Amino acid sequence: MNHSQPAGPIGPIGPVLVSSRTIEEYRAHFVLTDAELTAGPILDCPGGASEFGAAVRAAGGSCTSVDPRYTMAADDLARIVDDEHERVVEWIARQPDRFRFDADGTWERATPWRRAADTFLADYRRDRAAGTGHYLAATLPELPFEDRRFALVVSGFLLFTYADLFDEEFHTAAVLELVRVCSGEVRLHPLNDTRGRRYPHLPALLDTLRARGVGVRLCPVRSTILPNDDRTLILTVSGA
């Protein structure tokens, strides 16, 4: 798609996008090593249409992906994923100063995201047919898992990203729920909203976590998409 100059200021992306980040993007955003991919059960919440869970399993690891959209039949979800891909490509095309584009005007991540979506959809279809339970429908701030169920929890592009849609109370409850189901580390990225603004309640959230004995670290990372998304919050669950 050719990008054109926006008619006015670009607002937030709107309703929460069902995006399809690649395994390479997850690895960069969550500073994941090969060993961590297979070290223990991983929770990806929200999973969206990412290929992360399928890639972890292909590498020999264990991953459960959680998203409210996983109530849907595969064909219905495929239609949503197609529409959402168009929506994000169109939103990004209106911001030529913010994102990078190929010589033909295509957003440089459009093709990898499309490929990742196709990998996800094929895996989701198999999961639905075989009942393997790799994709579970649930909605933060409540997860249907026992305490400390996962060695590693990754959560990308919901919390902080949509601070225009979810209030501080939701964010705190959601992060505490991710901590509850984790026995090792919870990694959250990015810490900015869709317009690149820092989450304003981060200091208060970190205080709440520290008061509960959760280790808190802000890790510098290099985003594959937006240079400003340069930090990942790493929480170490007490006793890990």
Chain positions contacting ligand SAM, by CB under 6 A:
16-21, 45-46, 48, 50, 67-69, 139-140, 156-158
Give CA–CA dist 111/80, Å, rounded.
Answer: 17
Give CA–CA dist 130/126, Å, rounded.
Answer: 6
CB of 191 to ligand SAM, least distance (A): 14
CA distances from 95 to 6, 16, 19, 101, 189 (A): 7, 18, 18, 10, 22
Closer by beta carbon to ligand SAM, 45 or else 56: 45
CB of 138 to ligand SAM, least distance (A): 7
CB of 68 to ligand SAM, least distance (A): 5
For 145-199, give the DSSP string.
Answer: S-TT-EEEEEEESSTTTTTTTS-HHHHHHHHHHHHHTEEEEEEEE--B-TTSPBP
Name the strand (E) or helix (H) holding 60: none
The two structure tokens encoding residue 96: 């030529």
Closer by beta carbon to ligand SAM, 109 or else 184: 109
Query: What is the total residue count of the chain?
Result: 240
Name the region of 102 (left: φ>0; alpha: ψ -120 to 50; beta: rest). beta
* Residue nearest ligand SAM, Cβ-based: 48
CB of 231 to ligand SAM, least distance (A): 16
- Strand, helix or coil at 20? coil
The two structure tokens encoding residue 130: 């075989």
CB of 157 to ligand SAM, least distance (A): 4
Give CA–CA dist 192/64, Å, rounded.
Answer: 25
Closer by beta carbon to ligand SAM, 48 or else 61: 48
CB of 50 to ligand SAM, least distance (A): 4
Closer by beta carbon to ligand SAM, 2 or else 135: 135
